[in-house]
C-alpha cells in the first residue's frame, strides 16, 4: 500500500501516519521528495481497511498496490529513478555506456580496453573477475588480482567500474574496487545474493534471468530495494527461446514494459543478447531507439583469443563506430550521449 501525504504535510502528521501503519502491522519505508512525502507500507493484511489511514491529517491518497513488487513499481514512485554510480547518472537524459571485455585477462588487455572505450565516450568499464561459466573447466576469472587491474585501468581513464558478484562472500573484496555490482543472469533469483548486494549500498546492475518473466525480474529488483538501496539498474540481456540462430533472443519489448511499470532505469546488452559480433551494432541502435537508458557492450583488443565470449566481443574500431551510430539514434529520440574524448 502506498500512502501519499499532502504537499506541505508536517513532520508530526507524517510520524502519526507511520505510527498508525505500524500499529496495523505494516513495515513502513519513507520517501521524501522535494514536494511531498510518500510512505510505502509493506505487509499482507487483507482485512485492513485503508480508510483508517485516509482519514488521518495530512494524508492525500492511499493506493493499494496490486503488483507484488512495491518499491519497484510506478505507484510507489512516479518519477523515473536516476541511479548514481559516483558522478555517472543512469536514467537521466544522457545515455550511459558500460563497455569492456567479458573477463579481465591481463593488465595490458584491461588497460587497452579502458583507453579505447573511454575515448569513444563510454563512462563505465565492465569486466568480470569472478566468472559464471557453463563449464567448470573454462576460465573462471582472475579474482582479486583482476579487480586490482580493473580499478587501475578505470582510474587511469576516468571510468567507473562495474563487475559481477557471484556469491555473498565476494561482497567485501568487490566493494573495495568496484563502483557498481553486477548480478548476472544466472543469479537473478539468488535471493541471499540479492539481499547482500542491496546491503553493500553500492549501485546494483541486475541482469534479467535467462528464462525470467519481467514480473520475476522486478521481484528480484524488489529484494535489493527492500534493503533500502535505491540505486538499481535493470539490464535486458536476452532470454532463451526456441531460436538457435542467435545465442539468446533480445527482448526489446521489455524496455517499454519496464518503463511503464517501474521507475527503475533499464539498459540493454546486445552482446549477450545476440552472441554474435555482427548483430551487436543493429541491436544497440534498436535498444536506444526503444528507450533504453544505456548499453552494455563487450569489447576486446583481440576478440579471437579472448578467454570468454570472443565471438560476441567487438574490435575497438567497431565499438567506435557503434558509438557514433548510437549517438545519431540518441539524438533522434531526444537523448544525449557523452562525446568522444580525443
Report the residue number, 211 or 336, with the smaller CB distance to ligand PEP. Answer: 211
Strands 180-183 and 88-90: unpaired
Q: Does 40 bind ligand PEP (CB under 6 A)?
A: no
Closest CB to ligand PEP belongs to which residue?
Answer: 184
Report the residue number, 186 or 261, with the smaller CB distance to ligand PEP. Answer: 186
Q: Which does 237 bind (CB under 5 to 8 A by kind): Mn ion, ligand PEP, none?
A: ligand PEP
Q: Does 311 bind ligand PEP (CB under 6 A)?
A: no
User: Site for ligand PEP (CB under 6 A): which residue of 4, 38, 96, 102?
Assistant: 102
**In angstroms, rounded to a whole number, what is the distance separating the alpha carbons of residues 162 and 88?**
12
Q: How many other C-beta atoms can be found within 10 angstroms of the C-beta atom of residue 54? A: 12
Phi-psi region of 121 (alpha: psi -120 to 50; beta: other; left: phi over 0): left
Query: Segment near ligand PEP (CB under 6 A), from 11-19, 109-117, 179-187, 316-324?
Result: 179-187
Strand partners, 160: 124
Cell 519497484 -> residue: 72
In contact, 287 and 251? CB cutoff 8 Å: no
In contact, 272 and 248? CB cutoff 8 Å: yes
User: Site for ligand PEP (CB under 6 A): which residue of 59, 181, 185, 219?
Assistant: 185
For the record, the C-alpha cell of 288 comes out as 536506444
Q: Does 301 bind ligand PEP (CB under 6 A)?
A: no
Minimum distance from residue 309 beta carbon to Mn ion (Å)? 4
DSSP secondary structure of 29-77: EEEE-SS-EEEEEES--TT--THHHHTSTTEEEEE---SS-STTBTTT-
Minimum distance from residue 187 beta carbon to Mn ion (Å)? 14
Q: Does 128 bind ligand PEP (CB under 6 A)?
A: yes
Site for ligand PEP in 259-288 (CB under 6 A): 272
Q: Which does 207 bind (CB under 5 to 8 A by kind): ligand PEP, Mn ion, none?
A: ligand PEP
Minimum distance from residue 109 beta carbon to ligand PEP (Å)? 15
Q: How many other C-beta atoms can be found within 10 angstroms of the C-beta atom of residue 64? A: 10
Going residue by residue from 206 to 245, which x/- string records binding to ligand PEP, judged by CB under 6 A? -x-----------------------------x--------
Minimum distance from residue 142 beta carbon to ligand PEP (Å)? 14
In contact, 117 and 301? CB cutoff 8 Å: no
Q: Strand, coil or helix: what is 140?
A: coil
Q: Does 132 bind ligand PEP (CB under 6 A)?
A: yes
Q: Which does 293 bind (CB under 5 to 8 A by kind): Mn ion, ligand PEP, none?
A: none
Number of residues in contact with ligand PEP, rule: CB under 6 A? 9
Q: What is the DSSP letter of 333?
A: T
Q: Which one, of 288, 195, 249, 102, lies nearest residue 206 by Cα?
A: 195
User: Site for Mn ion (CB under 5 A): which residue of 309, 314, 319, 337?
Assistant: 309
Q: Does 116 bind Mn ion (CB under 5 A)?
A: no
Q: Which one, of 271, 270, 274, lies nearest residue 247 by Cα?
A: 274
**In angstroms, rounded to a whole number, what is the distance separating the alpha carbons of residues 330 and 207?**
23
Q: Does 100 bind ligand PEP (CB under 6 A)?
A: no
Minimum distance from residue 312 beta carbon to Mn ion (Å)? 7
User: Site for ligand PEP (CB under 6 A): which residue of 91, 100, 121, 184?
Assistant: 184
Q: How many other C-beta atoms can be found within 10 angstroms of the C-beta atom of residue 242? A: 5
**In angstroms, rounded to a whole number, what is the distance separating the alpha carbons of residues 333 and 342?**
25
Query: Segment near ligand PEP (CB under 6 A), from 6-14, 148-156, 166-174, 182-190?
Result: 182-190
Residues that bind ligand PEP in the complex, under the rule CB under 6 A: 102, 128, 132, 184-186, 207, 237, 272
Chain residues in the site for Mn ion (CB under 5 A): 102, 309
Amino acid at each position: 500500500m502506498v500512502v501519499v501525504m499532502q504537499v506541505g504535510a508536517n513532520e508530526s502528521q507524517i510520524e502519526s501516519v507511520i505510527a498508525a501503519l505500524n500499529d496495523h502491522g505494516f513495515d513502513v519505508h519513507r520517501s521524501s521528495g522535494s514536494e511531498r512525502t510518500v510512505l510505502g507500507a509493506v505487509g499482507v493484511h487483507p482485512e485492513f481497511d485503508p480508510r483508517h489511514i485516509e482519514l488521518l491529517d495530512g494524508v492525500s491518497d492511499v493506493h493499494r498496490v496490486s503488483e507484488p513488487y512495491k518499491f519497484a513499481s510506478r505507484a510507489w514512485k512516479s518519477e523515473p529513478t536516476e541511479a548514481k554510480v559516483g558522478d555517472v547518472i543512469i536514467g537521466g537524459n544522457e545515455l550511459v555506456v558500460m563497455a569492456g571485455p567479458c573477463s579481465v585477462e591481463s593488465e595490458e588487455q584491461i588497460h587497452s580496453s579502458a583507453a579505447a572505450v573511454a575515448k569513444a565516450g563510454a563512462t563505465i568499464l565492465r569486466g568480470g573477475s569472478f566468472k559464471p561459466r557453463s563449464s567448470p573447466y573454462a576460465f573462471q576469472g582472475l579474482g582479486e588480482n583482476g579487480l586490482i587491474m580493473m580499478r587501475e585501468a578505470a582510474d587511469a581513464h576516468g571510468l567507473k567500474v562495474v563487475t559481477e558478484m557471484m556469491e555473498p562472500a565476494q561482497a567485501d573484496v568487490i566493494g573495495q574496487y568496484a563502483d557498481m555490482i553486477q548480478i548476472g543472469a544466472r543469479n537473478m533469483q539468488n535471493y541471499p545474493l540479492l539481499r547482500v548486494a542491496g546491503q553493500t549500498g553500492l549501485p546494483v546492475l541486475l541482469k534479467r534471468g535467462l528464462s525470467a518473466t519481467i514480473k520475476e525480474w522486478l521481484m528480484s529488483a524488489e529484494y535489493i530495494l527492500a534493503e533500502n538501496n535505491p540505486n538499481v539498474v535493470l539490464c535486458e540481456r536476452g532470454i532463451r527461446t526456441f531460436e538457435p540462430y542467435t545465442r539468446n533472443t533480445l527482448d526489446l519489448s521489455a524496455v517499454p514494459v519496464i518503463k511503464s511499470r517501474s521507475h527503475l532505469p533499464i539498459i540493454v546488452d546486445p552482446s549477450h543478447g545476440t552472441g554474435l559480433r555482427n548483430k551487436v551494432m543493429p541491436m544497440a541502435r534498436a535498444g536506444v531507439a526503444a528507450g533504453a537508458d544505456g548499453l552494455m557492450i563487450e569489447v576486446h583488443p583481440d576478440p579471437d583469443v579472448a578467454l570468454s565470449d570472443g565471438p560476441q566481443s567487438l574490435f575497438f574500431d567497431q565499438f567506435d563506430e557503434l558509438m557514433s551510430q548510437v549517438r545519431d539514434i540518441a539524438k533522434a529520440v531526444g537523448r544525449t550521449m557523452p562525446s568522444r574524448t580525443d
